[in-house]
Structure 1
Amino acid sequence: MSDLLEIKKIIEAQGQAWEEFKRTNDELLKAKAEGKAVADIEAKLAKISDSMDALAELKNEFDEVLKKIGRPENGQAKGENDLQVECKSFNAMLRADLQSKGRAVSEVDVETYQQYKSGFFKLVRTGNLESLSADERKAMSVGSDPDGGYLVPAPTVGHIVAKVYEQSVIRQLASVQTISTNELEGIVDNDEAEAGWVAEMDARNDTGTPQVGKYRIEAHEMYAQPKVTQKLIDDAAVDVEVWLAGKVADKFARVEGAAFMTGNGVGKPRGIFAYPTAATGDDTRAWGTFEHVKTGANGDFHTTKADPLQDLIGAFRDRYLQNATFLMRREVRTKIRKMKEATSDRYLWEPSLQAGQPDRLLGYPARVDQYVPALSAGSLSLGFGDFREAYTIVDRIGIRTLRDPYTAKPYIRFYSTRRTGGGAVNFEAVKFLQFAS
C-alpha cells in the first residue's frame, strides 16, 4: 500500500510540474516574440525540466517494482518445487557449456545440484576447497572448467539476468533469444512473394519468389570483475549471493548497454545506432541500411514544430507502427517537451500520469536511454519504430565465475563471464532522426 501511495504522489507531482512547464514555456515563447529578455525564464524552465527528469526516473523505478509484483513465476511446471526448477535450469546451462567445449554431456540430479550450490557459495566466501564437505567437493567437479571458474547456480544467474533487464531499455524493447550455441542464424525475407486472386477454372501463373538471405548474430564474451575485501565476505550478515548478483549485473548492464546501441560489432555486439543510414525510402534503399529523416539543423531541431517527427512516422509501412516506440537521449527529450503542433498549438509531449505506462510523443510510447548517441551535428540521437522486429539480442545460457585473490591484493576479484550478442535483422522496422541540415 505504501508503494502505491508513493507512486500516486509522484504522478501528482509530475502532473503539476508539467502544467508549470507548459505555462513557463508559453511565457518564454511570448517574451521572445516581444523581444524581451528571457534569461531568467530560460533558467526557470531548465529547473522545471530537471525536476521532471528526476520525477520520471522515480516513476520508472516504481513501475519496475509493480511489474515484478505482477510477474508470474516462469518455467515451473505443476508439482515442481523451487529446487527442482533450479536443477532443471542448471542442467540446461551445463549441457550448453559442455557442448561448446566438445565434452561429454551429463546432467545432475537434485541432490547433487543442492551440494553444488552449497559448495559454490562456500568457495565464494573462502576460496578453499578444503572448507567443503566430501559430497560438495565431488559435486563441484561437474560445473568446473579446466581453465578455471565454476558455473554460477541457477537462481543467481536469474537474479543477474533480471537486474540487467531492469537497467537496459534496449533489452526491454528488442527481441531477446536464449541460445545454447555460440551464434544465432536466421532467415531474412526482404521481399514479398507475389500472390493474387484467381477464378476457379482460370490458369495459375507462377508467382514471384521472395529474395531470401541469412543473418548471423554471434554471442561475444563479456566480463565483469567486481572486487571485495575478505573481511566483507567473511561477515555472516552479508548475503554473498545477493552481493555477487548485484555487482555483476550492474557491470554487465553498463557494458552491454553501450554495445547494443553503438557497438562496432568487432568482438562485441553491433549496436542498432551503428549501421549505415540513408535518406531513401524502403522501396529503393539497399538492405542493410536504415532510413533517416533530417531535422533541418545541425545538432538541433530546425524549428519548434513537429515536421521532422511527423515525417519520420509517415515514412513507415503500417505494420511497424502498431508496436512502435520512440527512443532518444535525455537532452533530445528536453527539446521535444517544448515543441507544439503547428495547427493546434498543442504540446507533442505527454508525460505519463498513470502507473505502469510510459511517456508518449505524438501518441507513441517514448523511452530515454543515455547510451543513444550524444546530440551533435549529424548525430542519430533519436530512433523510432518496432525495435522488437528490428533488433535481436542473443544470450548464451550460463555465467561462469572465477575467484581471484591474487592479482588485486588485498581485494578479492570475482571474474565473471557470459556470452551475449546483438544485431539488426529488419532494416525497415526502425528509422532514425538525423540532427543535420
Structure 2
Amino acid sequence: MMTELSLRSPETKAAEAAPSSLEVVTAFDDFMRAFEAFRETNDERLAEIEARLSPDVVTSEKLSRLDDALDRQQKLLDDLALKGRRPALAAGEGPSAVAGRERKTAFDAYVRRGAAASLRGLESKALIAGTDGQGGYLVPDETEREIGRRLAKVSPIRAIATVRASTASVFRKPFATEGFASGWAAETAARAQSATPALDEPAFPAMELFAMPAATQTLLDDAAVDLDQWIAEEVETAFAEQESVAFVTGDGATRPQGFLTPPAVANASWSWGSIGYVATGAAGAFAASNPSDRLLDLVYALRAGYRRNAHFVMNRRTQAAVRKLKDGDGRYLWEPPATAGAEATLMGFPLVEAEAMPDIAADAHAIAFGDFRRGYLVVDRVGVRILRDPFTSKPYVLFYTTKRVGGGVQDFDAIKTLRFAAS
C-alpha cells in the first residue's frame, strides 16, 4: 500500500531537539495525575454499579474523557522518551573512515542533485548490483543502522522480538520441536539409545517494504540539511506502521507472517504449528463475574520458562477495558509505568501497545501474552535502497526507499492469546 507523501520540511525535522529533563518530568507528573483521576472516577463508577446496578451517565462520560486524556498523556510521554533515546548519526563508520566518507559524499551528491556517476562507480568496485534501473542505490552504512535503531524503538513487535540480519532472500532456522531423550542411570547400568530429536525448519522470506518521502529541490540544495538524518526520520513512521500490521496479522505471502496468522486452537488441544488460546467465557467480552480470572489462566497457560520474559500485547482500546479490572482484593491489575520511558504493566508483566491487534469482539484474539523474543523472529535483509525520482510529482523530488523484511513465528509454544468467546 502506497504511503502518503511527507512534505514536511527537512529543515524543520533536523531542527528538532532532544527534550529537556524538565519536559519529561512534567509530562510524567501530568500522566500520573491523569491516572489518579481515572482511578478515582472508576472507583466511583463501580460503587454506583453496586448500589444501583448501573453507573451514572455523567460518571461514565467523565471516565471516558479521562481515559482519552490518559492515552494522550501516555503518547506524549512515549514521544518524549523516544526523542531522548535517538542517537546521532556517526560519520565515518564504514569499512574505513576514508571509504565511508567517500561513499557518503557520493550518496549526498546523488540525493541532492541526481549525480549518480560516483555512486555507481563505488558500487561497481564493491561488486554491488545496484543501478538506477534496477531499484536505486544502497544507502550508507550509518544511515541503514540509524533506520534500524529507530524501527526498534517505534515498531512495537520488533522491539520485543528476536531480530536477525541476513544476506539471503530466504532465512531458514532449524528448530527442535522435541528435544533429545534423556534420563537417569546407575553408574554401571546400560544406557538405552536416545531418541532422535524432531526438527522443524521454518522459512522466513524477505518481503519488500517501501516508503516514498518527498522534498523540494530548493531544500535539497541547502547544505545545512542533514539528508541522512532526514531520510531516516521520514521512513521511520512509514516503515513502523506497515511492520506493526504485518507482524501481527500479515498473510506470509506479500508481507511477513503475523503471530495471529497460524491456526488458533484451545490451549488444552495445542500442538506444534498452532497458537494456543484461552477463552474469556463470554462472546465479545470478559466474563461477568471474576473477569480477571481469565487473564490469570492466560498467564499460566504459558510455561514457566517463557513467563520470565513475557509481555502482554493489545491495542489501546483493549487496554482501556483492562485498566478498569481489579483483583479480588480491590487492586487494579493495570499499573502505570514507574518512570518516564518505562512500560505500563498488567499483573506485573510489561504491556506493549500494538494498534494492529484486534478490538474486543466476538471470537477476537484481542490479547496476546508470551515470550516474543523466543516466539517471533524478524529478519532484515541487509541493504536499504533509494531511487531518486524528480519527475513524477514536480516540484517535489520523491525518494523511493525500499527495505526487505521477513518475519514469522519460530516457537509456537511461546505465545498464547485470549479469545473473547464462550469457549
- Quickly name the TM-score band, shorter chain normalised: 0.7 to 0.9
Cα deviation, residue 196, structure 1: 1.5
Q: How does 1:407-418 map to 2 (within 5 A)?
A: 407-418=392-403
Aligned-pair CA distance for 1:111: 3.4
Summarize deviations over 1:351-410 as a string: whole Å, max 9, x none.
113234311111111111101123322111110010011100000111111111222333
Whole-Å separation in 2 of the counterparts to 1:420 and 1:15: 38
Aligned counterpart, 2:21? 4
Shift of 1:316: 1.5
What residue in structure 1 maps to residue 9 of structure 2? none
Residue of structure 2 equivalent to 1:194 = 181
Q: Does 1:326 align with 2:326?
A: no
* Aligned twin of 1:22: 39
| Partner in structure 1 of residue 342 of structure 2 | 357
> Secondary structure at the residue paired with 1:297?
coil
Letter in 1 for 2:377: T
Aligned partner of 1:34: which letter? A
The equivalent residue for 1:218 is 205
How far apart, in 2, do the equivalents of 1:19 and 1:250 lie? 32
Structure 1 distance, partners of 2:55, 2:274, is: 45
- Taking the aligned partners of 2:347 and 2:186, their CA distance within structure 1 comes to 44
Matched, 1:45 2:63: yes
| Equivalent in 383, 401, 415 of residue 398 of structure 1 | 383
**Structure 2 letter corresponding to 1:50:** D
Q: CA deviation at 1:67?
A: 4.6
1:91 matched residue in structure 2: none
SS in 2 for 1:222: strand
| Regions of 4+ moved over 3 Å | 62-69, 109-113, 135-144
Partner Cα separation in structure 2 for residue 7 and residue 148 of structure 1:
42
Question: How many Å separate the matches in 1 of 2:36 and 2:100?
Answer: 57
Query: RMSD of the alignment, in Å?
Result: 2.4
Q: Distance in 2 between matches of 1:372 and 1:422?
A: 17
State the alpha-carbon separation in 2 of the partners of residues 67 and 233 from structure 1: 27
The equivalent residue for 2:12 is: none
Tell me the residue number matched to 1:174: 161
Separation of aligned partners in 1, 2:22 and 2:295: 36
**TM-score between the two structures when normalised by the length of structure 2:** 0.88
- 1:228 deviation in Å? 2.4
Map Cα deviations across residues 13-51 of structure 1 (whole Å, 9 max, x no partner).
Answer: 333222222221111111122226611001111111112
Q: How does 1:338-349 map to 2 (within 5 A)?
A: 338-341=324-327, 343-349=328-334
Whether 2:290 is the aligned partner of 1:337: answer: no
Q: Which amino acid aligns with 1:87?
A: G
Unmatched segments (≥5 aa) in structure 1: 74-80, 89-108
Give the number of aligned pairs: 399
Give the TM-score, by structure 1 length. Answer: 0.85
Which residue of 2 is the match for residue 54 of structure 1? 72
Aligned with 1:199: secondary structure?
A: coil
Matched AA of 1:400 = R
Over the matched positions of the two proteins, sequence identity in percent amounts to 35
2:416 and 2:179 mapped to 1: Cα distance?
20
- Structure 2 runs not aligned, ≥5 long: 1-17
Distance 1:314 1:273 in 2: 20
Other structure's SS at 1:286 match: coil
Corresponding residue SS for 2:379: strand
CA distance in 2, matches of 1:148, 1:368: 34
Give the structure 2 partner of residue 157 of structure 1. Answer: 144
Taking the aligned partners of 1:148 and 1:178, their CA distance within structure 2 comes to 21
Quote how far apart the aligned CAs of 1:68 are: 5.0
Matched, 1:87 2:94: yes
1:159 & 1:327 partners in 2: Cα distance? 26
1-structure distance, mates of 2:381, 2:19: 39
Residue 263 of structure 1 contacts residue 270 of structure 1 at CA under 8 Å; is this kept in 2?
Answer: yes
Question: Are the counterparts in 2 of residues 296 and 435 from structure 1 also a CA contact under 8 Å?
Answer: yes
Partner of 2:10: none
Counterpart position of 1:301? 286
Compared CA separation, residues 41 and 136, structure 1 to 2 (3 A): closer
Per-residue deviation, residues 245-264 of structure 1 (Å, max 9, x unmatched)? 22122221122221111110
Counting only pairs closer than 5 Å after superposition, residues 248-267 of structure 1 correspond to structure 2 as: 248-267=235-254
- Cα deviation for residue 411 of structure 1 reads 2.4
Distance 1:211 1:375 in 2: 37
Residue 292 (structure 1) shift: 0.8
For 1:61, the aligned partner's letter is D
Evaluate the alpha carbon distance shift between residue 37 and residue 271 of structure 1 in structure 2; reply closer, same or farther with a 3 A threshold: closer
Q: Matched residues in 1 for 2:341 and 2:394: separation?
A: 45
CA contact (8 A) 2:206 2:404 kept: yes
Secondary structure at the aligned position of 2:187 is classed as coil
* TM-aligned CA deviation for residue 298 of structure 1: 2.5
**CA distances 1:71-116 after superposition (whole Å, capped 9, x unpaired):** 9x9xxxxxxx952xx222xxxxxxxxxxxxxxxxxxxx65344222
